[in-house]
């Protein structure tokens, strides 16, 4: 399998990127991740926090950060925990309505290194969807991951890519950058998945439009603060949802 797909020539440079950060109980991580993103040497970069009414008050903290950000941080408040997929879809809609020419997805918990954002955006000069990939040379997962967890992640991704004919090694990763055109090209109202399947379905939809996917090696670090919301159930759900995605698109 090749790590690159699709055609077309060079794309215009990204000038108005939005980094969408979904949060559910991330009060310990949010100030630092927002500060790290705002400190990046990327002109025009804005941060959008998509909070699902976190009981720990992350949404209020996000409002405070936005108020002192001179317009570089915005907050989308959703009424309750609706899952990662719907949170991202709302974030994409906000970014497109507010003039973004690219949207980066990343976790709030430092599992995704904010310093890689410029490189991801740079890949959008030749791709429509640039995916952070743990499973190409130069990438990797946290050394603390157990063997079963590594196998589930690696083979889960290979399984999904094989069934869907995706030319990528890590279709479940949540650290990626979309060109505006990629988000506009797909029918986002049809995306029903959550969690891992959301990432798979989005990559599949972009690929099906004949747009170009490319992967950039990243190292996934386990979160230090707060708690993961992913469960084994979500991973198992992904196994059969892949078939639904295949036959519904
Ligand atoms: N808005 C919103 N964010 C969520 C939801 N579930 C998870 N997140 C956020 O999505 C990111 C990834 O979730 P996480 O629990 O770290 O998953 P993991 O990295 O697979 O363990 C984190 O920034 C979470 O706070 C949700 O239902 N709504
Ligand atoms: Mg995480």
At 156-188, the pLDDT tens digits run: 999 999 999 999 999 999 999 999 999 999 999
Query: Does residue 2 carry a pLDDT above 60?
Result: no
Q: How far is CA 52 from CA 56, 84, 170, 241, in A?
A: 11, 10, 27, 24
Q: Which of 113, 189, 200, 198 minimizes the C-alpha distance to 161?
A: 200
Residue 231 tokens, joined: 């469960």
Average pLDDT, the chain: 93
Pocket of ligand 1 (CB under 6 A): 22-24, 26, 50-52, 81-84, 87, 107-109, 111, 223, 228-230
Nearest CA owner, ligand 1 atom 20: 230
40 or 227, greater pLDDT? 40
In this prediction, residues 40-60 reach a mean pLDDT of 98
Q: What pLDDT band is residue 228 in, cutting at 50, 70 and 90?
A: confident
Return all residues near 186 (Cβ < 8 A) that are at least 6 apart: 202, 205, 206, 208, 209
Give 119-128 pLDDT, tens digit per residue: 999 999 999 9
Give 92-104 pLDDT, tens digit per residue: 999 999 999 999 9
- What's the 106 CA to ligand 2 centre distance in angstroms? 9
- What's the 61 CA to ligand 1 centre distance in angstroms? 17
| Nearest-atom index, ligand 1, CA of 25 | 25
């Amino acid at each position: 399998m090749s790590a690159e797909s699709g055609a077309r020539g060079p794309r215009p440079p990204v000038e108005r990127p939005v980094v969408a950060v979904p949060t559910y109980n991330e009060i310990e991580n949010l100030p630092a991740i927002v500060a790290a993103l705002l400190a990046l040497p990327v002109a025009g970069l804005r941060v959008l926090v998509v909070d699902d009414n976190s009981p720990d008050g992350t949404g209020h903290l996000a409002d405070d950060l936005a108020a002192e950000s001179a317009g570089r941080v915005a907050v989308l408040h959703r009424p309750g925990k609706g899952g990662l997929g719907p949170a991202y879809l709302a974030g994409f809609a906000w970014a497109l309505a507010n003039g973004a020419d690219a949207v980066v997805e990343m976790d709030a918990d430092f599992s995704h290194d904010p310093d890689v954002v410029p490189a991801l955006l740079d890949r959008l000069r030749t791709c429509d969807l640039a995916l952070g990939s743990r499973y190409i040379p130069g990438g990797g997962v946290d050394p603390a991951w157990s063997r079963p967890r590594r196998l589930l992640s690696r083979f889960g991704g290979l399984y999904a890519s094989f069934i869907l004919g995706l030319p990528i090694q890590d279709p479940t990763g949540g650290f990626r950058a979309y060109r505006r055109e990629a988000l506009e090209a797909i029918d986002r109202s049809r995306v029903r998945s959550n969690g891992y399947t959301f990432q798979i379905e989005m990559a599949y939809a972009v690929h099906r439009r004949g747009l170009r996917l490319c992967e950039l090696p990243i190292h996934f670090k386990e979160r230090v603060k707060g708690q993961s919301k992913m469960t084994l159930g979500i991973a198992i759900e992904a196994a059969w949802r892949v078939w639904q995605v295949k036959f519904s698109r």
